[in-house]
């Protein structure tokens, strides 16, 4: 009975605070994340949608030669060196034709802001395809 009265009291207090404007439900909502760009994390080798945790693993592309050749055609330059993943990251960070500029994200080591362009969007889609080819379903959220 005592617990019941305590719960009624707490409920009444919260109702009064909410109605009086002292308690805002806006603080209970998750903050809206900026997904208007891609975030390339060179350390973890991930390509993410802005501030979100919706990410694609760049290492998946290394095992897919047909997808790699599509990226080479897209950027107009072959992937070079012994690491396809490293070469892909460099290609995305420094397109040979300077079609866009990658910007380092302040305070975040090895993370860069890439604009959403036809090229970066296609890389995102090819990474989704590589995941589907390897695991049978999409990993995008």
**pLDDT digits over 8-30, tens only?**
555 554 555 455 555 455 556 66
pLDDT band at 63; cut points 50, 70, 90: confident
Residues 6+ apart with CB under 8 A from 51: 33, 34, 35, 39
Pair (119, 83) in one structural domain: yes
- What is the residue range of 19's domain? 1-30
Pair (74, 126) in one structural domain: yes
The total of structural domains in the chain comes to 2
What tokens does 75 get? 């950027």
Pair (20, 56) in one structural domain: no
pLDDT band at 124; cut points 50, 70, 90: very high
Whether the CB-CB separation of 56 and 125 falls below 8 Å is answered with: no
Q: Cα-atom radius of gyration of the chain, to the nearest Å?
A: 23
CA 88/CA 21 separation, integer angstroms = 52
Pair (60, 80) in one structural domain: yes
Q: What is the pTM of this model?
A: 0.74
Pair (18, 42) in one structural domain: no
CA 109/CA 127 separation, integer angstroms = 23
Pair (5, 56) in one structural domain: no
Whether the CB-CB separation of 36 and 48 falls below 8 Å is answered with: no
């Amino acid at each position: 009975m005592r617990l019941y009265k305590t719960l009624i009291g707490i409920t009444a207090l919260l109702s009064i605070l909410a109605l009086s404007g002292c308690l805002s439900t806006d603080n209970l909502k998750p903050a809206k994340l900026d997904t208007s760009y891609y975030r390339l994390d060179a350390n973890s080798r991930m390509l993410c949608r802005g501030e979100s945790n919706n990410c694609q693993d760049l290492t998946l592309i290394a095992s897919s030669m047909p997808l790699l050749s599509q990226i080479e055609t897209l950027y107009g330059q072959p992937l070079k060196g012994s690491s396809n993943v490293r070469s892909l990251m460099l290609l995305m960070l420094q397109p040979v034709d300077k079609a866009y500029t990658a910007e380092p994200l302040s305070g975040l080591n090895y993370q860069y802001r890439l604009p959403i362009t036809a090229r970066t969007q296609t890389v995102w889609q090819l990474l989704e395809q590589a995941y589907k080819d390897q695991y049978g379903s999409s990993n995008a959220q």
